[in-house]
Amino acid sequence: MTGVPQEGAAAVPALSRRQLAALIDHTLLKPDATPAQIEQLCREAVEHGFAAVCINPVYVPLAAELLAGAAPVVCTVIDFPLGAGAAADKARQAEAALAAGARELDVVQPIGLLKAGRHREVVAHLHGVVALARKAGALVKVILETGLLTPEEIDLACRLAVEAGAHFVKTSTGFGAGGATEEAVRRMRAAVGPDVGVKASGGIRDYATACRMVAAGANRIGASASLAILAGAPDEPA
Ligand SMILES: O=C[C@H](O)COP(=O)(O)O
């Protein structure tokens, strides 16, 4: 992979369409999404080689059936988009989603508890989901909603997510205050180190932005504009 060096920053990789697709969670979380749109999303995920489809829990059984034996996995969201439910509710949602075929769970952290300094409770909310996922061989991404956090709170949230055993930290729901920024992604990568994933999501609409997120440290992109993002990508690696 080659890239154009940027002064004071990591080189922005010139990812090919296939390389970038393999990093993208092809996302449809709108409340009015229909089963027909989910079917279309799954077809597109297979055709383009996306990492996953990211959908609401109601559609996990449908997507799991459509993607059985295919490479893209089913990702769903837990306690989305607020993260304000009880720990037991997060666990119940996770259990149901895993039983229905989800292999990746994007759970919103309890943001208010983090801000209140109730760190043990934050870890408990997340660990309940992680424990269930690990038993099922599934991955957990903790959505921080970085637009609501100070830089120090982003660092802290990353540490607590790692302590809870999460596989990824993720910037945003796409339904809250602000989306992914390069600054937040860079900060999250520094906080979690090389062995935990960073998913940039929320407001990523084009190829150049997606590549900048990767340069900042993201190894997964969540986007509802995935097809527009791929449209800007070269066929072959530069
Ligand atoms: O979890 C992923 C986000 O909802 C995607 O946000 P987006 O619709 O702005 O791409």
pLDDT digits (tens, 9 = 90+) for 173-211: 999 989 999 999 999 999 999 999 999 999 999 999 999
Known catalytic membership, residue 89: no
Closest CA to ligand 1's atom 10: 223
**Domain boundary assignment for the chain:** 14-231
Tell me the CB-side half-sphere exposure of residue 154, using CA atoms within 13 A: 22
Distance CA 158, CA 168 (A): 9
Q: What is the pLDDT of residue 236?
A: 77
Where residue 3 falls among pLDDT bands split at 50, 70, 90?
very low
Catalytic residue, from 89, 199, 206, 235: name it.
Answer: 199
Pair type for strands 9-13 and 3-6? antiparallel
pTM for the model: 0.95
Pocket test for ligand 1, best of 29, 32, 54, 175 (most atoms within 8 A of CB): 29
Residue 218 has pLDDT above 90, yes or no: yes
Pocket test for ligand 1, best of 32, 41, 172 (most atoms within 8 A of CB): 172
Quick: pLDDT tens for 50-97. 999 999 999 999 999 999 999 999 999 999 999 999 999 999 999 999
Helices and strands: H and E segment counts in the chain? 10, 10
CA of 175 to the centre of ligand 1 (A): 7
Q: What is the pLDDT of residue 32?
A: 98
CA of 111 to the centre of ligand 1 (A): 18
Give the mean pLDDT of the chain: 95
Superfamily of domain 14-231: Aldolase class I (3.20.20.70)
Q: Locate the ligand 1 atom nearest the alpha carbon of residue 29 and give its number.
A: 4
Known catalytic membership, residue 195: no
Q: What is the pLDDT of residue 9?
A: 61
- C-alpha angle 6-155-89 in degrees, rounded to nearest 5: 125
Catalytic residue, from 79, 90, 141, 170: name it.
Answer: 170
Known catalytic membership, residue 115: no
Catalytic residue, from 25, 79, 106, 141: name it.
Answer: 106
Residues flanking ligand 1, CB < 6 Å: 27, 29, 54, 173-174, 179, 201-204, 222-225
Nearest Cα neighbor of 2 from 21, 19, 26 is 19
The neighbour count for residue 168, using CB atoms within 10 Å, is 21
